Amino acid sequence: MSTTHGAGATTELTKEQVIEVLRPVQEPEIGRGLVELGMIPDVRIHGRNVGVTVELPTPISPSKPAIERDLRAALATIPDLGTIDVTWTARVRASGGGKSDAQPIKGVKNTIAVASGKGGVGKSTVAVNLAVALAEAGAKVGLLDTDVYGPSIPLMMGLHDKPLMRNGKIVPLEAHGVQLMSIGFILDPNKALIWRGPLVAQLINQFLNDVDWGDLDYMVIDLPPGTGDVQLTLVQKIPISGAVIVTTPQDVALADAVKGLKMFQEVKTPILGIVENMSGFVCDNCDTVHQIFGSGGGHRTAEEHNVPFLGEVPIQTAVREGGDRGKPVVAAAPDSATGKAFAYVAERVAVQLAAEAARKPRKPTIMLRTVGS
């Protein structure tokens, strides 16, 4: 079929022609072409009308407006083009991290370790809000509490049930759309337990292998503070796609954060970036952020160590209350300063992971050509 339009006759529009025109359009966060990244899984042609499906690398992607603008501009260069119909989907790609000999958890595409040099900086709070924000965006998310010394996920997610077994595996609990596992669901919270190296390794192993996680786009792993047995076991057992380092603005916390960062760099785990938590204080009756500890430390540290800065989260009563009531602030008060700040952190983490996944060598796409034509 060929159509005549306007002054001159135009040849029939082909999918190949559309793909060629789209080739220069970039995913702005990854800095590579949509076509090259496999983000255009489908092109539909009806006469001079074009339909394009764009598959974003994460459902929380901030790139949609820029991609849509650039894609429409590129298509507009096709002579006598009719309508443009853009369909959006998202598919999270797997990123195995730096360590290649560790065995990934079956069905889990990305593992995110949330770490810090010291306790009380808001690691668990970041892990919980990160997981819930990703799940709310439509991703399949798990949250594994590996802080065997002080599990806080049950409280922060508002669940105290005992997990059940199915086909010899532990079934994760679910809250706010997130699959959860924590030693806090299994043990009496008032019983003090002393965990020693081999026992920690065994427990972490069970969390990874004996839990029926199902298919997950992201598994967020809440770590105990520091660089101890849990961290070592984890980086040996599974490829960690990336580490998120949580710090507060004080210099001492930053020094601790750098220790955590170095540990992951030593075992070749990609650093997704630094989050500065408790970055200033937002009082209940005003919108102003008061800088109690100074500001910008997390940002500077990220720059000095050449890792991304993932955002700052102020101190707000709603965060602590949400944590204590099992309602993470991204779900309970998404429009609050901290709700928005955590959503931004989640977006940056997902974007960094997408960039990591894109760095992996891609399988060559099979090019189908008609022989003899």
Other beta carbons within 10 angstroms of residue 62's beta carbon come to 15
Give the footprint of ligand ADP on residues 248-277 (CB under 6 A): 277
Least distance from C-beta 147 to Mg ion, angstroms? 5
Under 8 Å between Cβ of 138 and 325? no
Residue with Cβ nearer Mg ion (152 or 336): 152
Other beta carbons within 10 angstroms of residue 142's beta carbon come to 26
- Rounded Cα distance between 353 and 218, Å, is 10
Q: How far is CA 147 from the centre of its chain?
A: 20
Residue with Cβ nearer Mg ion (28 or 226): 226
Is 172 a binder of ligand ADP (CB under 6 A)?
Answer: no
Which listed residue (116, 179, 227, 233) binds ligand ADP by CB under 6 A?
Answer: 116
Least distance from C-beta 135 to ligand ADP, angstroms? 18
Is 278 a binder of ligand ADP (CB under 6 A)?
Answer: yes
Determine the interface stretch with ligand ADP among 27-35, 123-131, 183-191, 227-235 (rule: CB under 6 A): 123-131
Determine the interface stretch with ligand ADP among 38-46, 57-65, 183-191, 316-324 (rule: CB under 6 A): 316-324
Least distance from C-beta 351 to ligand ADP, angstroms? 22
Least distance from C-beta 166 to ligand ADP, angstroms? 30
Residues 6+ apart with CB under 8 A from 255: 117
Q: Which residues pair with 312 in a beta bridge?
A: 276
Secondary element (H or E) of residue 279: strand 271-282
3-state secondary structure of 331: helix
Is 146 a binder of Mg ion (CB under 5 A)?
Answer: no
CA angle (118 as vertex; 236, 351 as ends), nearest 5: 65
Is 336 a binder of ligand ADP (CB under 6 A)?
Answer: no
Is 182 a binder of ligand ADP (CB under 6 A)?
Answer: no
Determine the interface stretch with ligand ADP among 87-95, 268-276, 289-297, 317-325 (rule: CB under 6 A): 317-325
Binding residues for ligand ADP, how many (CB under 6 A)?
A: 18
Residue with Cβ nearer ligand ADP (61 or 338): 338
Least distance from C-beta 159 to Mg ion, angstroms? 16
Is 116 a binder of Mg ion (CB under 5 A)?
Answer: no
Is 315 a binder of ligand ADP (CB under 6 A)?
Answer: yes
Of these partners, Mg ion, ligand ADP, none, which one is at the site of residue 315 (CB under 5 to 8 Å by kind)? ligand ADP
Strands 49-56 and 84-90: parallel
Least distance from C-beta 91 to ligand ADP, angstroms? 31
Residue with Cβ nearer ligand ADP (39 or 113): 113
- Rounded Cα distance between 264 and 214, Å, is 27
- Rounded Cα distance between 103 and 240, Å, is 10
Is 214 a binder of ligand ADP (CB under 6 A)?
Answer: no
Please name the amino acid found at residue 73. Answer: A
Q: Which two tokens stand for residue 209?
A: 């292998």
- Rounded Cα distance between 227 and 245, Å, is 12
Is 325 a binder of ligand ADP (CB under 6 A)?
Answer: no
Give long-range contacts, CB 8 A cutoff, 24+ apart: 77-80.
77/21, 78/13, 78/17, 78/18, 78/21, 78/50, 79/10, 80/5, 80/6, 80/10, 80/48
- Rounded Cα distance between 327 and 333, Å, is 9
Largest distance between two CA atoms of the chain = 83
Residue with Cβ nearer Mg ion (104 or 142): 142
Is 338 a binder of ligand ADP (CB under 6 A)?
Answer: yes
Q: Residue numbers of the site for Mg ion (CB under 5 A)?
A: 123-124, 147, 152
Q: Residue numbers of the site for ligand ADP (CB under 6 A)?
A: 116, 119-125, 152, 277-278, 313, 315-316, 319-320, 323, 338
